[in-house]
Structure 1
Amino acid sequence: MKKKLVLVESPTKISTIQKILKTLGREDFTVIGTAGHICNLEDNKMGVALKNDVFDATFKPMASKKKIIENIKKQMKYCDEIYICTDDDREGERIAEDLVVFCKIKEYFRITFTEITKSSIKKALIDKVGVRLIDQKTVKAQWTRRVIDRVIGYGLSFPLSKYFKDNNKLTYKEKDGTIKSFEPKGTGRILALALYIICKRQKDIIAYNDSGAVVTDIVIANYNYDGIGFMARGNKLEYKKEYENKRNEVIKKASFKIHRVYSRSIDIVPESPPNALTTLNLYTAVSYLYKLGSKQTEVIMKNLFETGYINYPRTDSLNLSTVAREVIIKYLLATLEDEEKKDVLMTPRVYKEKKGNAQNAHEAIRPSIFSDDETPIEEIISRHPDNIREEWAKNPQCKKFGNHHHLIYSLIWARAICTQLRSSEYDVSKITVKAGDYTFDAKSNNRLYDGWEKYEGNLVLNSTRGIGEEDFKRKRVVIPPTLAINTIIEDVDITFYESNSKSPKRISEGALINTLSGLNVARPSTLHTFASALESKGYIEILQTMLIPTDLGMEVNTVVESELEWLVDEKRAKNFEKTMEQIELGKIEDNHSIILEYWNLVNDFRRNVGYELLE
């Protein structure tokens, strides 16, 4: 009997997939992991050539992958069907294409897993649901991006070192008295921008420390009406310390004025729960909440995915699948108390996605137990964060799972569950009080209906606010509901509080991810990789997720700002990612002119420093 060959990216998926196939009564599958890409551009060479405005890139099998390729070719002789199950993204599509080319695969089934569960494996490998061909447009986008990154990275590396030597940048003395320069380890398209953001913040901190803090006194009114106290801030009543007399005069005068409600707006607003986690959301939240770096987080996410406890963790999508939403609602209705069931949505909530994002086809990150509407409630309960440790204790593949695995899994669970609970409601009414020529403003912040916030609300809120040192707590402000326009408030205390300017905070890994995401310069699901890349080059140090530029990093940034300003041009970086998406969607066909633009920019710098041009 002929076997079936399954090719996946990660070797650690193999045992999970084979175990599931065995439970399905199928032991005729052989599973091989490629351990990522099998091919790359040549080492120590540009590997990219230009002829008649057309680029050619020399990709070859990596030495470390030759045995894997040989094993695949060997197993192909005993198989009548080949399933290429690399990840459903640009890199996965490129790996699939390289497998076809370098393993000489003539016929194949291209299938992707969004999770490694019994139902998903059955649909993909047994029922062949979702079978397709390799998407050549996605392969083209990955090829273009990889070639441009090689042109920039390799093309600038040696000339940048030459620039440092020629200009005596960051020199140091050897034991024999020889003066040498520190050598930079190149730069990159997004790396340069990330380093610029970190160094700019360092400059802001230095400037603040040189100038010192600014102290401002803000005049406020403490009101009490119907037994409810609230504070209103004086409108344009802020004074620096040198104007202390003016401040005191205002306090004295305002204290003797009649305080009458001038205006009041009643505003009750719903607050929806945040979306289930995207890759960007998760790395940012974990950085702030648990002080975990991107490398640690990536390992944990990989562990949880490859052992079948969460779905595919590389996604930009805000939404869960239709089935997942329905399973969550069914679970909530089965497990909540009767009086709490009113908090569950009867119509599933769907979030508005960003248009034109090719990776929205993936679901948001969630526990994989929400995959099948026939899953017994007892089985779902066994995967609840309160019970999951018992499950892991029984699974040999989870021996190394620790507290951080549990914290991240709990966060994923909470964010997914809350999406199908009713919105909370807040009174955010505003009130203005007039006292002669002075006005005081206050805004209510009073939760009237708990909704989703009753269930893991603090954890979910903290994960969206990016609070690291302490839990995020909303300060509750209640404005008396009986306080109407023209009402005179008699219980008044006019005073002030000091507001000290704060030093700019250092950029954390989470803050860098958020900043780059806000600039929209790269696919959100890739942004967590840049801090560790800068650290490996010696441009920054990472201390408890805080990113501190080294002297070398500061100097490299200075050179880039002055000589390679296009690398830190935010508009150019945004347009680059949009261009890659357009190639992936098939809306741009001529990718060579895009590569040529960067080729010429790199040559401009090489020419300026007296280095041979790329040919």
Structure 2
Amino acid sequence: MTTKSYKLLIVESPSKAKTIGKYLGDDYIVKASVGHVRDLPKSNKQAIDIPGGFIPHYEISKGKAEVLSEIDSLAKKASEVLLATDPDREGEAIAWHIAEACKLKNPKRVTYHEITKTAIEEAIAHPRKIDQNLRKAQEARRVLDRLVGYDLSGLIWKKVRYGLSAGRVQSPALRIIMEREREIRAFIPEAYWSLTAKVKTEKGFELELSCTEEPRDEKIVKDILKIGRSNQWIVREVKESEVGRAPKAPFITSTLQQAGSSRFGFAPSRTMGIAQKLYEKGFITYMRTDSTTLSADAQKAVIAEATKRYGAESAEARVYKTKSKNAQEAHEAIRPTDMSKDTLGINPEEKKLYKLIWARTMASQMVDAKLARTTILANVRNWLARYFPRLAFLRPRLAWRGCGTSKSRRRRIADFTFIG
């Protein structure tokens, strides 16, 4: 009796394993490592050999011995082992740790940025070796976390108060905050006045004007108020112009977290947890990225859908350059895997976040919104010293704002924005 040959593909999460397993069929066994399988021991003395050159000593994480034993057993019978963990530093490290712990011979590394049948098949067709530079980058961060966190936290407990913590990221961030706080405390405030005038036209239309100056002298303020209250106001000039507003780039991790907070009140961890579920279901691309890039195929799909929904005159191909010097441009921005579906998710939170990602991606490949700007310049008759302008925006063409990226859709952007 012969056993059917199979290929073993290893991912992190069980839900991702379930989704990918449906795409690959019976020729593959898809197994989840359930996150990291090895880590530094809790004892700092045993964790890192500093005299030997900061060499880390790993041990199998609690509860992962059984997982590794099952992977090892499956790997020995498999014709091929594919490490398909996430396409970032942590994912590369997990792949390396699995290979080391199970002593895998010539495992193949496959990466993808979306969980779709096409993307998975493409990844399997182009395997590579484990990227040692990428996994060493993760190792360096982990070692620094341990050295700084353990040693500095212990010192803080002795010198300041028990229970406080320090870290590779939080300690420098705390210094930046404190330096800014010292600047704020050292700032010498200067009093000034912001003046507005509520006026009414002959036809009864009410306007609120804002003074172009912010006087520092109280005597000048009183003079302006006296003249303004006791004299007739006239419109000196009305200026009309058209301005364009460009759409924002597709989401990266940080901007998605910011939008989740401002639009829905989600904490960053909550936003990422929801995005993780959307990714594992195959609805969006990988949600940990610092790149605003869209692949050529994805850009074509967005433009095609924008053309279908809003007309060819609304679509415009745009390329966004990532501002971060350390951004990994090979990664993509966070986007839907299927632009024809503007609503996906199994609960209200998933649906809201998916819709936000869809709208941002759609808007990124559309023309500028055109706004008609009208500036009304007014002051007291026979008094040319100071002007009170009012700036209004009206929207003659929604453009990218029509696909749901703006809270103020179908009404004025803002009733009035003052210039001074």
TM-score, length-normalised on structure 2? 0.84
Pair 11,185 (structure 1): closer, same or farther in 2 beyond 3 Å = farther
What is the CA–CA distance in structure 1 between the aligned matches of 2:30 and 2:9, rounded to whole Å?
A: 5
Mapped contact 2:394–2:413 kept (Cα < 8 A): no
Pair 265,142 (structure 1): closer, same or farther in 2 beyond 3 Å = farther
Q: 2:326 aligns with which of 342, 357, 382?
A: 357
TM-score, length-normalised on structure 1? 0.59
Specify the alignment match of 1:556 in structure 2: none
CA displacement at 1:421 relative to structure 2 = 2.1
What amino acid sits opposite 1:449 in the alignment?
R
Mapped contact 2:249–2:360 kept (Cα < 8 A): yes
Mapped contact 1:41–1:58 kept (Cα < 8 A): yes
Unmatched runs of 5 consecutive residues or more in structure 1: 170-182, 208-213, 371-379, 393-400, 463-471, 480-615
Instruction: Indicate whether 1:456 and 2:408 are aligned.
Output: no
Matches within 5 A, 1:99-138: 99-125=98-124, 128-129=125-126, 131-138=127-134
Mapped contact 1:89–1:359 kept (Cα < 8 A): no
Instruction: Indicate whether 1:149 and 2:145 are aligned.
Output: yes
Specify the alignment match of 1:487 in structure 2: none
Q: Secondary structure at the match of 1:438?
A: coil
Instruction: Indicate whether 1:293 and 2:267 are aligned.
Output: yes
Specify the alignment match of 1:580 in structure 2: none
Pair 122,355 (structure 1): closer, same or farther in 2 beyond 3 Å = same
Instruction: Indicate whether 1:328 and 2:302 are aligned.
Output: yes
Instruction: Indicate whether 1:235 and 2:212 are aligned.
Output: yes
Superposition RMSD in Å: 3.6
Pair 451,358 (structure 1): closer, same or farther in 2 beyond 3 Å = closer
Of stretches 432-441 and 139-148 in structure 1, the one that deviates more from structure 2 is 432-441
Instruction: Indicate whether 1:341 and 2:311 are aligned.
Output: yes
What is the CA–CA distance in structure 1 between the aligned matches of 2:155 and 2:329, rounded to whole Å?
A: 39
What is the CA–CA distance in structure 1 between the aligned matches of 2:180 and 2:135, rounded to whole Å?
A: 37
CA offset digits 1:208-255 (Å, max 9, x no partner): xxxxxx995514474859998755422334479xx4x75443233356
Q: 1:476 aligns with which of 409, 412, 415?
A: 415
What amino acid sits opposite 1:422 in the alignment?
V
CA displacement at 1:17 relative to structure 2 = 0.8
Mapped contact 2:193–2:214 kept (Cα < 8 A): no
What is the CA–CA distance in structure 1 between the aligned matches of 2:183 and 2:200, rounded to whole Å?
A: 39
Specify the alignment match of 1:492 in structure 2: none
CA offset digits 1:372-404 (Å, max 9, x no partner): xxxxxxxx3xx332xx4xxx6xxxxxxxx3211
Specify the alignment match of 1:189 in structure 2: 168
Unmatched runs of 5 consecutive residues or more in structure 2: 186-190
Q: Secondary structure at the match of 2:130?
A: coil
Q: Secondary structure at the match of 1:448?
A: strand
Mapped contact 1:257–1:436 kept (Cα < 8 A): no
Q: Secondary structure at the match of 1:139?
A: helix
CA displacement at 1:4 relative to structure 2 = 0.5
**Identity fraction in percent:** 29
What amino acid sits opposite 1:475 in the alignment?
A
Pair 15,447 (structure 1): closer, same or farther in 2 beyond 3 Å = same
Specify the alignment match of 1:375 in structure 2: none
What amino acid sits opposite 2:295 in the alignment?
S
Which fold has the larger relative contact order, with Cα–Cα distance below 8 Å and residues 6 or more apart in sequence? Answer: 1
Instruction: Report how many aligned residue pairs link the two structures.
Output: 406
Of stretches 289-298 and 79-88 in structure 1, the one that deviates more from structure 2 is 289-298
Q: Secondary structure at the match of 2:213?
A: strand
CA displacement at 1:101 relative to structure 2 = 1.7
What is the CA–CA distance in structure 2 between the aligned matches of 1:225 and 1:361, rounded to whole Å?
A: 62
CA displacement at 1:89 relative to structure 2 = 0.8
Q: Secondary structure at the match of 2:44?
A: coil
Q: Which has the higher helix share?
A: 1
Matches within 5 A, 1:24-423: 27-46=26-45, 47-51=47-51, 54-125=53-124, 128-129=125-126, 131-164=127-160, 183-194=162-173, 216=193, 218-220=195-197, 222=199, 231-238=208-215, 243=218, 247-254=221-228, 256=231, 261=236, 268-334=242-308, 336=309, 340-345=310-315, 347-354=316-323, 356-370=325-339, 380=340, 383-385=341-343, 388=344, 401-423=346-368
